[in-house]
């Protein structure tokens, strides 16, 4: 009996394509219900993160784009919409091109439109990357938490997933997508090292041109006052980090934040710096490990990104759908290793589950999950065709 229970989880033969599709439907229904609850809560007096995007859009539509970074102006506009809470807009000026259209709507309708449109962009990139695994893309729990916060994780996730998936076939487009991460540059920390180490110079140059072009276009469209106003937001972000309590840092999905709670700022900064250097080195070695396979080394780069950035929240993690589903795809092609299926189930739920458990546990376990994901991708990269533990060729999407 004991051996049977171990085999049940070690091999997980019961987790086949038809069951996965059924579970995906159930999770999708539950996710829609949870997002609906989040929308209702977002209309309460405290509002939600979306208010920062809506407030920045109202500034652009009012012909005062620099006011997107004016804390007093933002407080007045957001509280004037019926909320007691208000949120600072801290994204670089090119992000105003994304948020501006949503200012045409009321906050409740804008919240819905933002989630639907940005989710669609992210889902499209994920489904294009893994067409046979589309049910797992659509109900990825990392997407659920981003939707519930109405945050920008879908935008950055679409850029990262699309950039990696297109690198081999359309390097200029891939580079342009990755360069557009200028809207949230700390998520692109590993990208230039990854592209350079792989000798993907066309994509590297396209990424630089995309980032520079978006900054120049924002300067032309919104003016110097807006570009300078963005630098003021750095002080707001720094003040938030200085004054953050344990609850704030527990919402972050980084090792820096967890060390900051229990070891202090100096120790956390040192750990974050060493970890970032280690991830840069690992990603640069990844091309040799993965045999110049852009999807494989890209999966490694995205898994490492979840560890490399010191400032990352669980709602930023929709991009982890690519390394997670790359592992699923490789398992279906070559056979799953012992315990791998169960590990993938845990990792698939990790972005949502670790955030839900962070405050009760007093620890956000997402860095541990990210490290496990990184190890699984790295160890998969060393496996040669024909070395599988057994063939399990099933199609999730039917």
186 to 49, 77, 178, 262: CA distances (angstroms) = 19, 28, 12, 24
Under the banding of pLDDT at 50, 70 and 90, the label for residue 383 is low
Of 305 and 292, the one with more pLDDT: 305
Closest CA to 188 of 202, 208, 218, 168: 208
62-109 tens-digit pLDDT: 999 999 999 999 999 999 999 998 889 999 999 999 999 999 999 999
Separation of alpha carbons 314 and 363, rounded Å:
13
- The tens digit of pLDDT for each residue in 147-175 reads 999 999 999 999 999 999 999 999 999 99
Alpha-carbon distance of 175 to 166, in angstroms, equals 9
Confidence of residue 58 (pLDDT cuts 50, 70, 90): very high
**What's the start-to-end Cα distance of the chain, in Å?**
34
Report the pLDDT value the prediction gives residue 23, as an integer from 0 to 100: 87
pLDDT score for 3: 57
Share of the chain above pLDDT 90, in %: 74
Confidence at residue 210, expressed as pLDDT on a 0 to 100 scale: 97
d(CA 348, CA 217): 38
The DSSP output letter for 152 is S
On the question of pLDDT at 398 being above 60, the answer is no
Exposure of 393 by Cβ count < 10 A (0-12 exposed, 13-18 middle, 19+ buried)?
exposed
- Write the pLDDT tens digit of every residue in 19-54: 888 888 998 899 999 999 999 999 999 989 999 999
pLDDT score recorded for residue 95: 97
**pLDDT at residue 205 above 50?**
yes
Q: Is 238 helix (H, G, I), strand (E, B) or coil?
A: helix
The string of pLDDT tens digits covering residues 224-278 is: 999 999 988 877 777 777 767 788 899 999 999 999 999 998 999 999 999 999 9
Task: Evaluate if residue 179 carries a pLDDT over 90.
Answer: yes
Q: Does 388 have pLDDT greater than 60?
A: no
Q: Give the C-alpha separation, 305 to 300, whole Å.
A: 9
- Residue 382: predicted pLDDT: 66
pLDDT value for 177: 97
Tell me which DSSP letter residue 318 carries: G
Grouping H, G, I as helix, E, B as strand and the rest as coil, residue 313 is strand
Check whether 395 has a pLDDT greater than 60: no
- Rounded mean pLDDT of 124-148? 93
% residues pLDDT > 70 (the chain): 94
Coil, helix or strand at residue 337: coil
Mean pLDDT of the chain: 90
- pLDDT at residue 394 is higher than 50: no
In angstroms, what CA-CA distances link 132 with 260, 393, 395?
Answer: 41, 12, 6
Q: Is the pLDDT of residue 387 over 80?
A: no
3-class SS of residue 252 = strand
Q: What is the pLDDT of residues 331-358, one digit of tens each?
A: 999 888 898 899 999 999 999 999 999 9
Helices of type H across the chain: 2-10, 17-42, 50-61, 71-80, 96-99, 107-129, 134-138, 141-149, 153-166, 171-179, 191-197, 201-222, 224-243, 246-250, 255-263, 265-289, 294-308, 321-334, 340-361, 366-381
What whole-number distance in Å separates Cα of residue 166 and Cα of residue 185?
20
């Amino acid at each position: 009996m004991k051996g049977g229970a171990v085999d049940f989880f070690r091999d997980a033969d019961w987790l086949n394509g038809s069951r996965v599709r059924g579970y995906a439907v159930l999770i999708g229904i539950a996710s829609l219900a949870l997002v609906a609850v989040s929308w209702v809560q977002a209309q309460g007096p405290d509002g939600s993160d979306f208010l920062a995007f809506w407030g920045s859009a109202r500034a652009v539509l009012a012909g005062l784009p620099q006011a997107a970074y004016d804390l007093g102006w933002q407080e007045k506009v957001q509280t004037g919409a019926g909320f007691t809470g208000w949120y600072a807009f801290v994204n670089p000026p090119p992000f105003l091109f994304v948020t501006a259209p949503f200012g045409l709507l009321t906050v409740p309708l804008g919240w819905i439109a933002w989630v639907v449109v940005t989710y669609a962009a992210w889902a499209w990139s994920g489904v294009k990357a893994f067409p046979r695994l589309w049910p797992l893309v659509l109900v990825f729990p990392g997407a659920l938490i981003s939707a519930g916060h109405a945050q920008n994780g879908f935008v950055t996730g679409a850029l990262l997933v699309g950039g990696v998936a297109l690198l081999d076939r359309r390097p200029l487009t891939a580079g342009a997508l990755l360069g557009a991460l200028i809207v949230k540059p700390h998520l692109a920390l590993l990208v230039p090292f990854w592209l350079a180490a792989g000798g993907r110079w066309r994509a590297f140059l396209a990424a630089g041109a995309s980032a520079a072009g978006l900054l120049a276009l924002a300067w032309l469209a919104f003016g110097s006052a807006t570009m300078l106003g963005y630098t003021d937001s750095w002080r707001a972000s720094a003040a938030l980090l200085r004054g953050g309590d344990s609850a704030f840092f527990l919402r972050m999905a980084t090792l820096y934040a967890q060390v900051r709670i229990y070891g202090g700022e100096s120790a956390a900064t040192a750990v974050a710096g060493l970890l970032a250097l280690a991830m840069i080195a690992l990603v640069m070695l990844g091309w040799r490990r993965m045999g110049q396979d852009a999807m494989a080394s890209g999966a490694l780069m995205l898994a490492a990104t979840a560890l490399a950035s010191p400032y990352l929240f669980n709602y930023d993690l929709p991009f982890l759908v690519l390394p997670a589903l790359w592992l699923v795809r490789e398992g279906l092609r070559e056979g799953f290793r012992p315990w791998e299926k169960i590990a993938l189930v845990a990792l698939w739920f990790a972005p949502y589950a670790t955030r839900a458990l962070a405050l009760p546990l007093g620890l956000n376990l997402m860095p541990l999950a990210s490290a496990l994901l990184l190890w699984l991708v790295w160890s998969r990269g060393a496996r040669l065709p024909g070395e599988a533990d057994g063939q399990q060729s099933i199609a999730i999407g039917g």
